[in-house]
Amino acid sequence: MSLPQFTFLAPTSLSEACALLEKHQGTIKIKAGGTDMIVRLSHRAVKPDYLMSIKKIPGLDTISYAPDTGLTIGALALLRAVETSPLILENAPMLARAAHATATVQIRNMGTVLGNVCNASPSADNIPTLVAMHAAIVASNGTTEREIPIDEFFLGPGRTSLQANEIAIAIKVPPLAPKSGVSYQKISPRSKVDIAAVNIGALLTLDENEQCQAVRISMGAVGPTPLRAKQAETYLTDRKISDETLAAAGRLAAEDASPISDVRASREYRKLMVEVLTTRALKEAYGFAKN
Amino acid sequence: MSTDHNFSVVGKSLPRSDGRIKAVGAAQYADDIFLPGMLFGKLLRSPVAHARIKSIDTSAAEALPGVKCVITGQDIPKVKYGNWRLVPESQDEYALAIDKVRFIGDEVAAVAALDKDSAEEAIRLIKVEYEELPGAYSVEESLADNAPVIHDEYHQDIPNISLDRKIEYGDLDKAFAEADLVLDDVFTVHATSHAYMEPCSCVAEYDHDGRLTIWTSTQAPYFVQCLLASTLEMRENDIRVIKPFVGGGFGGKMEMRPWEFCAAFIARKLGRPVKFTLTREEELATGRRRHPMRIHSKVGFSKEGMLLAKEFNVHLDGGAYNSMGPTACFLCGNFGAMLYNYPNYRYYGAHVYTNKPPAGAMRGFGAPQALFVAETQMNVAAEKLGIDPVDIRLMNAMETGDEIPGVATISSCGFKESLIKVAEMTNWREKRKNLKPGQGLGLGCYSFISGGVFNWFNTRYNFTSAEVRAFDDGTVHLMTMASDIGQGCDTVLRQILAEELGLKVSDIRLTAADTAVTPQADLGTWGSRVTLMAGNAVRKAAQEIKEELFRMVSLKFDLNVIHDLRCGDGKIYPANRPDRAVPFGEAVRMAQRAKRGEPVIGYGSYTPRNKGLVTPAFSFGAQVAECEVDKETGAVEVKFMTTAHDCGTPINPMSVEGQLEGSVHMGLGYALSEQFIMKEGKTLTTTFLDYKIPCAEDMPPGISVHVDTYEPDGPFGAKEAGEGLVSPTAPAIADAVYAATGYRCMDLPLTPQKVLAGMNKI
């Protein structure tokens, strides 16, 4: 399918980009890798007058780590870069797993992690782990920056809390507390290369007695935005980890999920998979936290 | 491969003759063709499943700048078409809907414009007023009392059954009464997409001489030529169909289709070339597909495991038009009783219209459905009778010389050897007893045809033919209408010709699949017919050349009449005196001189005669799937596939291997993940995001071996390879899932959700 007509903009600085956003409010779309946006354009799912690429803005593709502030992943860091980055593999290997689980290597060589986040698809591979890990999105309006906690970022499918003149320039992931473990779990009808029918990210932190000190569970593709499994989190906090408590947490997570039936899976199957994958995610995270 | 036959070119894994041009990206497919002044076409498709067309207003589309032509059903000759010309009333399609639309996607109008964007825009400007009618979206709904009648002009006893077929032999009632075990099951199997890499595309040009040329992505140039002639009301010979490189077909490109008609019609009307190329979304939302079926199968066994009787009732969910459904309906009855000796058999098959995109021919053509049922019931019977699934099959398996009543005598059969081989290779008996939780091992088998005998297209020509021109520089030119659509017949036919004439493949120039220059006719690439049929024709043409050259060489050597002559190594020589060889080119020169300049040309053709009504030769094979099932998620992972098969002589083993891997891929998708999810006639899975074809990473490792047989009716012993093998994969995987979970699937595909439901976990 052909692309509709639009004016292509390629600013070379953040301030220029934000000024363009301000100027063309409501009629402009941003693209980074373009792996989602170009498809949406060709399907006429969006019809902007202006398409602005941020690829020419220098310095947005960095991946860095500092022990006190944690990871910073720039807006233009490719999925493939995150998947293979030694910094990420060492400090947040589940982010690499989630990036690896996204689409095919060809798409990962073009698409970005932050693009996947900003696209705000309920089934996005990279979101649940980032939610579990307390990530924050750094937004810039060209002059000032602010950090948006990821829990406040998603408003609905394709909708985020970015202001009309703001660009997401990076995502920050704080360092893990001691004795913490993370897991990303996903299921889809086609085994390996596929969009998630359900995905789960979990972060589990243990106290000195190996009890659960804190836990965050994020569920994808079971609601209009990534959902937190609040009941399961509350239940598990300060509780001893066992097969029974993890299974119970899985059941509670399923209660918190509000999936729909669609061509990818039925509501009932999704609910059951939330239970299975949550338990698996917690079990894996627990394994990492213990060691 | 056969060791008894001392071949020099046949049986060798030579690289594809089209390998280099495709690898460097230089191969021209239909959509790569750009002609001066060419227009771009686009089809308007019905958004409703069943409706009368009340009016069409094309004025806004025509007024759009860049639009050169808009046509509707009112503009075209009122001539219906369809591949079953033998039964004219089965021809039920107009290229553009005239009275009614019968499925979402039915072609209603066509536009040609200076560019694609204008054509797309114009399509959106056409206003069609529909009077919607109730629809029928399943066999059950179509056969219900007061069901909407989908084709009003049909006056059968049951309105939505377009045709049916019966087969019966033996005494079923007696046999069932004597059976110790009777299985009586209803299965449902689903539709899947061909998902060929190249969406359909064509370019048509009308010349100043009043003749039409069309380059089209087709498996059957001859069918397109004939049906364009009838629908355009032109003479066949005024239409030239050229098949450029084609990116796969799998049965989905063996009919004339509306875009071919519209391109030709508009090109003729405007005198400008016109191109139509479908999008993937059009292909998935509206394209041909494998027949969904409801199959009621009753089968009786003795307690020793002998098959006594089978009653096979099949309802094909055909969609809105016949397409190739009649053939699927016909063949399904044969596939129901081909693999084993069924002494008593009754088949009833009915092709049912529904308001859905029509199902058509697709790799296996009734066999994957029939064999999913037959093989599953074999596995069930084996378990119930306490017999190993391999043994119960060996007991009933067809063998060389066996007769299928009313069909044919099997002239070569390596089925038992295939069974024994897969059992050995997988350590079947031991491994089945030592499965870990979640592991499963399953068996499925198949037989298939090597081309069809029944002349449903009603051709007046031989089924295939070949012309070979020999030159005194030692080269030859092979001309055949056989169509390489990626399966490799351009290479295989060259190998057959090179073998027969003792030449190298590089000595052969090939012109193929051009109806104006290659000899009439070839029925196309389908039903696994090309290697056997076109191969035989090529061999016969080569033998004519040989006979002529042998006469010359015999004369030169003053040979006694009993001397044998051979072709080999680019030379012709007496069998016992290879030192006295004459180069092939020199022999041609001698022959040409003896005829005072007449060229040396051989002609060969092949039409199966005295081969019953189905096929000249049968292939066989067996496959074992090793699976692991995640009992919490229902996900099935195929860990390994083991295949033993009998394709006669593999002309090119590397090509056969590619076919087998492709078959596993297609069988895997059929078994596990591919399906059209539909709602009231609307296909919801219209991209590869949601139409779950397995990806490269989903392919299991596997091994396959050829069982050594020689088919007397095939060229150098060859027969079908790579189509039949799409059948055993689903029953083998389903059987492995049963072994792992206790869930016996009778309703494909085996989605994770269904597996969990089968285990009563959801």
B690 and A194: CB-CB below 8 Å?
no
What b/e readout covers B121-139, taking b as 16+ CB neighbours within 10 angstroms? bbbebbebebeebebbbbb
CATH topology assigned to domain B293-454+612-758 = Aldehyde Oxidoreductase; domain 4 (3.30.365)
CB B11 within 8 A of CB B492: no
B752 and A187: CB-CB below 8 Å?
yes
Closest to A191 (Cβ–Cβ): which among B279, B637, B690?
B637
pLDDT in tens, A65-90: 999 999 999 999 999 999 999 999 99
**Model confidence at B65: pLDDT above 70:** yes
* Prediction pTM value: 0.96
**For residue A272, which residues of chain B lie inside 8 Å, CB to CB?**
756, 761-762
Lowest mean pLDDT among A272-276, B166-170, B608-612: B608-612
CATH 3.30.43 residue ranges of chain A are 7-53
* Average pLDDT estimate for A178-185: 97
Nearest CA in chain A to B695: A193
Selecting from 3.30.390.50, 3.40.50.150, 1.10.579.10, 3.30.70.20, what CATH number does the domain A180-290 have?
3.30.390.50
pLDDT of residue B155: 61
CATH 3.30.465.10 residue ranges of chain A are 63-173
Alpha carbon B227 to its chain's center: 19
B684 and A263: CB-CB below 8 Å?
yes
**For residue B689, which residues of chain A lie inside 8 Å, CB to CB?**
195
B677 and A191: CB-CB below 8 Å?
no
What percentage of chain B reaches a pLDDT higher than 70? 99
**Model confidence at A8: pLDDT above 80:** yes
A269 and B752: CB-CB below 8 Å?
yes
Nearest CA in chain A to B752: A189
CATH topology assigned to domain A63-173 = 3.30.465
pLDDT of residue B1: 39
* A1 touches B: beta carbon within 8 Å: yes
* Average pLDDT estimate for B416-437: 97
Instruction: Tell which of B192, B753, B755, B761 to mutate to test the A interface (max A CBs under 10 Å).
Output: B753
Task: Given CATH 3.90.230.10, say whether it is the number of domain B33-133+197-248+253-286.
Answer: no
Task: Identify the band that residue B199 occupies on the pLDDT scale cut at 50, 70 and 90.
Answer: very high
pLDDT of residue B2: 41
pLDDT of residue A191: 72
Closest to A190 (Cβ–Cβ): which among B117, B673, B762?
B673
* A247 touches B: beta carbon within 8 Å: no
Q: ∠ CA(B297), CA(B298), CA(B300), 5° rounding?
A: 140
Strands A198-206 and A180-187: antiparallel
* A195 touches B: beta carbon within 8 Å: yes
Query: Could you say which architecture CATH assigns to the domain A7-53?
Result: 2-Layer Sandwich (3.30)
Q: Reduced to 3 states, what is the DSSP secondary structure of residue B696?
A: helix
Q: Which of B443, B415, B482, B454 is nearest to B648 (CA)?
A: B415
**Phi, psi at residue B490, to the nearest 5°?**
-60, -40
Task: Identify the band that residue A167 occupies on the pLDDT scale cut at 50, 70 and 90.
Answer: very high
B752 and A189: CB-CB below 8 Å?
yes
Residue B557, burial from CB neighbour count under 10 angstroms (0-12, 13-18, 19+) = middle
**Model confidence at B470: pLDDT above 80:** yes
Q: Mean pLDDT score of chain B, rounded to an integer?
A: 96
DSSP string, B413-444: --HHHHHHHHHHHHTHHHHHHTPPTTEEEEEE
B673 and A189: CB-CB below 8 Å?
yes
* A276 touches B: beta carbon within 8 Å: yes
Comparison of pLDDT for B406 and A243, the residue scoring more: A243
Closest to A272 (Cβ–Cβ): which among B635, B695, B762?
B762
Comparison of pLDDT for B231 and A196, the residue scoring more: B231
What b/e readout covers B523-552, taking b as 16+ CB neighbours within 10 angstroms? bbbbbbbbbbbbbbbbbbbbbbbbebbbeb
pLDDT of residue A264: 86
Instruction: Tell which of A35, A104, A263 to mutate to test the B interface (max B CBs under 10 Å).
Output: A263
* A187 touches B: beta carbon within 8 Å: yes
What b/e readout covers A134-144, taking b as 16+ CB neighbours within 10 angstroms? bbbbbbbbbee
Nearest CA in chain B to A271: B762
A190 and B695: CB-CB below 8 Å?
yes
Closest to A264 (Cβ–Cβ): which among B690, B693, B762?
B690
**Model confidence at B156: pLDDT above 80:** no
pLDDT in tens, B525-579: 999 999 999 999 999 999 999 999 999 999 988 888 888 999 999 999 999 899 9
User: Which residues 21-60 of A are in CB contact (within 8 Å) with B?
Assistant: none
User: Which residues 108-147 of A are in CB contact (within 8 Å) with B?
Assistant: none
What percentage of chain B reaches a pLDDT higher than 90? 95
* Average pLDDT estimate for A264-287: 96
**Model confidence at A203: pLDDT above 80:** yes
What b/e readout covers B650-660, taking b as 16+ CB neighbours within 10 angstroms? bbbbebbbbbb
pLDDT in tens, B18-31: 999 999 999 999 99
* Average pLDDT estimate for B143-150: 95
Strands B702-706 and B636-646: parallel
pLDDT of residue A234: 98
Closest to A190 (Cβ–Cβ): which among B632, B694, B753?
B694
CB B571 within 8 A of CB B426: no
**For residue A185, which residues of chain B lie inside 8 Å, CB to CB?**
none
DSSP string, B609-664: -SBTBS-S-EEEEEEEEEEEE-TTT--EEEEEEEEEEE-BS-SSHHHHHHHHHHHH
Instruction: Tell which of A39, A41, A108, A190 to mutate to test the B interface (max B CBs under 10 Å).
Output: A190
Q: How many CB atoms lie within 10 A of CB B386?
A: 9
* A2 touches B: beta carbon within 8 Å: yes
pLDDT of residue B509: 98
Q: Which residues, other chains included, contact A242 with Cβ-Cβ below 8 Å and sequence gap of 6+?
A: none
B695 and A104: CB-CB below 8 Å?
yes
Selecting from 3.20.20.60, 3.40.1390.30, 3.30.499.10, 3.30.365.10, what CATH number does the domain B19-26+463-606 have?
3.30.365.10
CB B600 within 8 A of CB B591: yes
Structure tokens at B46: 């019905």
Task: Identify the band that residue A1 occupies on the pLDDT scale cut at 50, 70 and 90.
Answer: low
pLDDT in tens, B483-540: 999 999 999 999 999 999 999 999 999 999 999 999 999 999 999 999 999 999 999 9
Q: How far is A226 from chain B (nearest CA, A)?
A: 20
* A190 touches B: beta carbon within 8 Å: yes
A190 and B633: CB-CB below 8 Å?
no
* Average pLDDT estimate for B600-621: 94
Identity of the amino acid at B100 = K
A193 and B633: CB-CB below 8 Å?
no
